[in-house]
Structure 1
């Protein structure tokens, strides 16, 4: 008997096998969803979902494409089933994939020049196709602003430009050096490519010089910096390296140095008036920018943001500085490079940005400001309106000497860059000083009148004959006016009235190790001979006690008298202190080195006490307060200009 049920079941099974495929549904985590949407050859090593879709449209897949990328690109070029955006973005990604594979192969064949050339050419092709996608397809970048694919293609352009520019620099450095020194447009014949460009758009301080190195900012990581600050946009983020180290004997007549590690952003332009002409060409134009001065760039009449990295150059400067060892050698008079204050500009001088002048403390260096400076650079509004100058000075010198010589160094720097003193950079300066640097900052904005000079006369029995000669010798150090440029100051853990810490056994031991430079020692000796009556006592004890640590003692006559000097009425000042003595009333507290009573200043516009040891400037609370004060300063300036 015919089994109808068996027949029906068999028929249904046959239909399920031979008929249309059935669709099933599943679930995916948000992490996997985002990874599938946004992952690509740069982030995962695999082609993006957009590229895989394009490959399926032309009848191939990622696996077959990996075995013959060249044939895969030909399929994409020939297909009429893809839009220009799909085709160009996928080809850019495939060229990038080939370049990355070549770089891996180079590790096994480092001397293979043909492979190096092929890698560079692949990066240029990737950048060119990304460039064509961004600026020569039907939709302009603003119409794709929220699309993941455009963000990916921007990254292909930026990374390929970065690798190509660094590779070309390393390959043709000698040829480039001659062109740059003559300020000519350079032309590199990198067959089949012709690469041209000039450095006119880069406001670097090292004109007529070529960097020793070009480093990709993305390749640098730093310990000790809490954050790295950059700006999204178009272009390769690079650091130009002009020096192997920072600490070296500089020109005695030039007490300033613009950063030897400036940030640079580089663009590659591919000439043409259409997608076809851009893709057929083998010409590329290189254009460099100072990202501190340029925040956007015009490409074919379209204004796009310029990529930038504001931390890597600064981090590299500190990492290669040698400051840690040199600052200690300087303290004991063993430094061969630092015998006078130096001003380090953290970016090429900008006449339209106000100056923030930072002064470190005893046995320290600009490293004391590592995160303070970086956080200021990371604040867009502050970065657009301020430039940071770091003072590096020998901390073995007595306070009066450093006060005078830092003033001279700052004035010489300003005069060099702004001889008339009319530009914005020469006005409304902000001083930020930590510890001994705070005491020096206070001296720089104080008026001495004859107060310090008269205190010297009161302290010593000086004959009229010696008084005239003494005044001639001592006047530059005890009679001074407030510097005219600063109008705001931030004193951080500053022992304005000295500290008993300078009198303890360890401080006295270190003080005994301090040696003054010969030029300073001779001046101190001359002054000592005039101060002390030769018939009454020797001047040796006076000379031996005249150094920076003794100056910071709460028993030191100079620091006690200078704490009474009036601060210029045009200067708004603020105090930030540490408190490392829990359970003690504020008036009796200390940061472990400086008592609150010594750091406190009457008339301060604000005062912040942070639970911290003496290095309070590195705490998040202090950094936030510094930024608040800088914004307050900026707002006041903007209001006064309305």
Structure 2
């Protein structure tokens, strides 16, 4: 077993709290993830550098105007000077002229927008177009410019800085990045204007009015999405929102406008029943300017390309791979901030029946054949939203997201975890029958489960053969001899008799109480248990069993069906039964354990396990989280509630996933394309 300790435990700083304080912290849940409207500043203004002021041209463009003796003319009559420069560029498209036009278009567009002038959108369109042609001139222009440059001895010996040359030398010209910003800013303004006319639906064409009356036909296409074109709803702008609650913001820089995709409604596909309500997804919009620079003012049609940044990070322009500008985090935060899963952890704990129709596996993205599922199972008084930071970090890794897909399980956390595991088994069977009824996707036979706290126990039960061991905790009477209605017998059979699921190959335990927690039987824990109402089906089965069979467990005879809190007490029989079972052949276990650094013995004593040599995460002592038979164990300086968010835990989960992927190379799993 590989064991690592990421803490140096000599004298340990106190960060303890009482059992009641722990409980209150648990009830408070994780800090919320929110988005709020950002200021009115546009995309370009947000990244303003020393080369561009809000309403004036950059020094480089002003120099170009001075060289042409047009600076004073621009100050007196900017629109007329702009028109003269357009004519000059059409005759001789020098890079300096083209860049100056892009910048002037943006500045004039801003001024026109302030005065609500109809020409503003046309100017923003020209801004994006001139920036595009500066970055990617047509072949004839590039060749002519290169021949002209080669006529000088200096040019023959120096690296070309002409825009078609995308060598590292280009990075030293500030206009290169500024041209990208101008393209993105101009395109964003145009998309906003188009949305005021109508919705941008993939596969359809939107007719936009123009100041000259000719109109512009904008077709919309999607690239790389598993969502159907008919499922796309309104597109929102990532730049309009600021994220709170997620530490890491995953963005890349290039060309395009990052958007937040929405769904119109759940479709009829087999996996749609597993999507949460109002799910959002990242989109990058890109507009390809066809033709030459001279064609720009007369073009009457164009194509807006919507890319899935989770699948494509580059776009091909003139046979060159160009990075897309992307934002993966803001769409996720936008969805989570509006999700109806917010606050569900309390209802799921106290009144499990009320969320019966909402329990099960959630997919934040469409099912992707060929990708290995990583199923995340939350713990007590929690919900799938607790996985947001870990999911955000893992999904940002292109290699991880190319080979894994992430699913999340929601369940009533007061239910006995043996019953929860039975529900999860049934859900997994139903899910596969929907998305892979003929068992053709080998990736679904290589599933990885990640369980936080009690979620680790639920996950471990999926890899366990019960025999009659769990039934004997309930009754000394052989199961076949009990008296019960057919419905009760079927329910008991489902909960207490099971075989390991061969599709579950690896389980990662995060702060899992294999030997229980003293917080469970504490006075606050007992007080909280008084407010729990277990699901009616479980209560009915227990009542039926008790009435007909005298040899059931004492808890059932007293009419009190044990809750998950009862079954998490230190040395609870069900826990001990599970703790000493080794991993079955073909299944791999890993442990990630939190220990709060501390140095005050008397204050540590208030924590579950806090006064022991090995320490505690504030809820689960190390001795409880430690279990034999795991392939790796790592100890991280984190409390119970933030363990699965800690950077070292994220790194460890990523390492285990890569190890799992490597182990599957003997049975290659090919990434399949989803077709509709």
Normalising TM by the smaller chain, what interval?
Answer: 0.7 to 0.9
Contact 1:256–1:409, Cα closer than 8 Å, also in 2: no
Structure 1 partner of 2:64: 54
1:196 aligns with 2:209: no
Residue 198 of structure 2 aligns to a residue in which SS? helix
Q: 2:242 & 2:96 partners in 1: Cα distance? A: 35
Contact 1:441–1:489, Cα closer than 8 Å, also in 2: yes
Q: 1:103 & 1:409 partners in 2: Cα distance? A: 54
Counterpart among 622, 625, 629 of residue 649 in structure 2: 622
Map of 1:451-462 to 2, 5 A cutoff?
Answer: 451-458=469-476
Contact 1:38–1:148, Cα closer than 8 Å, also in 2: no
Q: 1:448 & 1:461 partners in 2: Cα distance? A: 14
Residue 208 of structure 1 aligns to a residue in which SS? helix
Structure 2 partner of 1:264: 283
Structure 2 partner of 1:230: 251
Counterpart among 590, 594, 608 of residue 574 in structure 1: 590
Structure 2 partner of 1:100: 110
Structure 2 partner of 1:220: 241
Counterpart among 172, 178, 199 of residue 198 in structure 2: 172
Q: 2:347 & 2:484 partners in 1: Cα distance? A: 36
Which 10-residue stretch deviates more, 470-479 or 615-624? Answer: 470-479
Counterpart among 22, 28, 39 of residue 50 in structure 2: 39
CA drift at 1:545: 3.5
Q: 1:364 & 1:74 partners in 2: Cα distance? A: 62
CA drift at 1:59: 1.9
Q: 2:499 & 2:221 partners in 1: Cα distance? A: 43
1:315 aligns with 2:324: no
Map of 1:463-482 to 2, 5 A cutoff?
Answer: 464-466=481-483, 472-482=490-500
Q: Deviations over 1:492-517 (max 9, x none)?
A: 01112322211011111111111123
Residue 430 of structure 1 aligns to a residue in which SS? strand
CA RMSD of aligned residues (A): 3.5
Contact 2:222–2:229, Cα closer than 8 Å, also in 1: no
Structure 2 partner of 1:409: 427
CA drift at 1:49: 3.0
1:240 aligns with 2:261: yes
Q: 1:185 & 1:162 partners in 2: Cα distance? A: 19
Counterpart among 202, 205, 216 of residue 186 in structure 1: 205
CA drift at 1:94: 1.8
1:254 aligns with 2:273: yes
Counterpart among 569, 577, 585 of residue 553 in structure 1: 569
CA drift at 1:297: 2.1
Structure 2 partner of 1:131: 132
Structure 1 partner of 2:7: none
Alpha-carbon distance change, 408 to 463 in structure 1, aligned in 2, over 3 angstroms: closer
Residue 127 of structure 2 aligns to a residue in which SS? helix
Residue 501 of structure 1 aligns to a residue in which SS? coil
1:596 aligns with 2:622: yes
Structure 1 partner of 2:404: 386
Contact 1:235–1:267, Cα closer than 8 Å, also in 2: yes
Contact 1:255–1:343, Cα closer than 8 Å, also in 2: yes
Alpha-carbon distance change, 472 to 118 in structure 1, aligned in 2, over 3 angstroms: same
Contact 2:542–2:561, Cα closer than 8 Å, also in 1: no
Q: 2:618 & 2:555 partners in 1: Cα distance? A: 36
Q: 2:123 & 2:512 partners in 1: Cα distance? A: 57
Contact 1:258–1:347, Cα closer than 8 Å, also in 2: no
Structure 1 partner of 2:150: none
Counterpart among 132, 140, 150 of residue 164 in structure 2: 140
Alpha-carbon distance change, 538 to 332 in structure 1, aligned in 2, over 3 angstroms: closer
Map of 1:66-85 to 2, 5 A cutoff?
Answer: 68-79=77-88, 83-85=93-95
Q: 2:667 & 2:93 partners in 1: Cα distance? A: 55
Residue 474 of structure 2 aligns to a residue in which SS? helix
Q: 1:167 & 1:285 partners in 2: Cα distance? A: 15
Q: Deviations over 1:15-74 (max 9, x none)?
A: xxxxxxxxxxxxxxxxxxxxx995344x7554223322222222233x864664422322
Alpha-carbon distance change, 134 to 610 in structure 1, aligned in 2, over 3 angstroms: same
Structure 2 partner of 1:541: 558
Q: Deviations over 1:171-194 (max 9, x none)?
A: 312xx56xx6xxx43232333442
1:158 aligns with 2:174: no
Q: Deviations over 1:103-161 (max 9, x none)?
A: 5456xxxxxxxx4x543333222222222222224152524752432221112212222
CA drift at 1:313: 1.5
Q: 2:111 & 2:666 partners in 1: Cα distance? A: 56
- More contact order relative to length (CA 8 Å, sep ≥ 6): 2
CA drift at 1:532: 4.1
Alpha-carbon distance change, 334 to 486 in structure 1, aligned in 2, over 3 angstroms: closer
Map of 1:416-431 to 2, 5 A cutoff?
Answer: 416-423=434-441, 425-431=443-449
Number of matched pairs: 580
Contact 2:130–2:293, Cα closer than 8 Å, also in 1: no
Contact 1:130–1:157, Cα closer than 8 Å, also in 2: yes
Alpha-carbon distance change, 463 to 419 in structure 1, aligned in 2, over 3 angstroms: closer
Structure 1 partner of 2:660: 633
Map of 1:109-120 to 2, 5 A cutoff?
Answer: 115=117, 117-120=118-121
TM-score by length of structure 2 reads: 0.77
Contiguous gaps of at least 5 residues in structure 1: 1-35, 107-114
**Structure with the larger helix share:** 1
CA drift at 1:303: 2.7
Residue 262 of structure 1 aligns to a residue in which SS? strand
Q: Which has the larger radius of gyration?
A: 1
Contiguous gaps of at least 5 residues in structure 2: 1-46, 143-162, 600-609, 670-676
1:503 aligns with 2:521: yes
Q: Deviations over 1:473-504 (max 9, x none)?
A: 31111222222233222100111232221101
